[in-house]
Structure 1
Amino acid sequence: MMEWTVRELAERAGISGRTLRHYHGIGLLEPDRVGSNGYRYYGPDAVGRLQRILLLRDTGMALADIAAVLDAPGAPAAEVEALQAHLTQLAEDRKALDRRISAVEHTLQMRREGREPRMDVMLEGFNDRYEAEVVRRWGREAFDSSNRWWHAKSVGQQRDWQAGAQALLTRWAEIHEAGHTPASPVAQEHAAAHMAWFADIPGTPTHVGDTERSAAMVRGIADLYETDPDFHRTFGSQEAAQLAANALRIHVRHPA
């Protein structure tokens, strides 16, 4: 039977070894065996489970919820439902990509003919990067309201908002470097500021005061902070991202 080590599986799955070890640590993905050298080895069953984990994670489902779906007595039905939702999202993403391809083809054709491309066609498909995801999670009005909010800002206002967002993340790195724990008053105070930042964005459950859906949103985002290498870089380190993730989880469980 073919087996892969952590490094081999991580390379093939496009994730980090730390992510695999984290999944093992929380009981989400067990290796088939651990060798006498301490290496974890993954066979077909584990690889199949990882595929399902990654697909469900892409739907925005929190890791704890993924474990519940995969381990529940009715797991096949719940998994089919989640995968169907993900397939629908992929189809929407493909439509957006098709619109973008058509826009580039239009621009290329007009340039070849020495004609001026239509401005509205040139940008078709380039302003809806997160549309399908937001609509799937929170509905069409959520996307439309947040889209109007963002594009109503001047370029300067957009830059100011982005600078504020970066300052928010930089503060997490400072809190980590100072040695604070996720449950510490300092971390929880900043978690409240992070939640206020979410609340400023129209279309999010936090903005409309939907406590239950807001908590679910934050748990999903916390999972991304913890496992996605892009967020590790954004926060300055994996440890700072993990601190933020855990602090936010605590905050939504026990809001001040």
Structure 2
Amino acid sequence: MEWTIHQVAKATGTTSRTLRHYADIGLLAPSRVGTNGYRYYDDGALRRYQRILLLRELGLGLAAIAEVLDERTDEVSALRAHAGLLEAEAARLTRLAGAVRETLRRTEQGEELDVTTSFDGFDASRYEEEVVQRWGRDAHERAQRAWRELGEEGRAAHGAEADAIGRGLAAAAARGAAPDEEAVQDLVRRHHAWVSAFWTPGAEAYRGLTAVYVDDERFRATYEAYGPGTAVLLRDAAEVLAQRELR
């Protein structure tokens, strides 16, 4: 028995675009392509896709998944390494949750914060070197200053806008929206404005930034958490915006 690309996409909650991308990079080829150009997937292809989805749930990047499936990397070793990273991050988040609870307790009781307990789990410096290397020390310092100046309410609003943009792009990706569709372009304009709260990128800089959202698995996972294809749609739509409206 075989299933069309549209049937597979609908059953798995993904998009035909994602399946075509997986075929393009050699991760999941259709079992055959019909004379009508339709892609079909048999039982073996579906089993492979199930493993891909499982490994994606565990946080592995596409390159790492390909190595596991093609047996260039031992699956147990890959999963063990990833489990270690997840456990370390879980421990950090547990400390972070404790710090927030302590801040809540002190706020409710009218006490001052204790610097030794209120910031446990935070690590604002862990991406500093990477940001400086990519965009310069000045960009990092301006972004840090702008973040502080937003204040608590401003930071909450900034996060809410990011979430709204992510959800909107995910919904657009799920229905197969084109990058140049006006509704998608509206979302990308909002994203550019969102970024510009800290740094206003021109055309080339914005292209580079949104390319990172796809190429870097950490950023990609952030956007793909909203739904498959979100990061790619943002990158492709940003290219349209850069060509049409940015300098």
TM-score (norm 2): 0.50
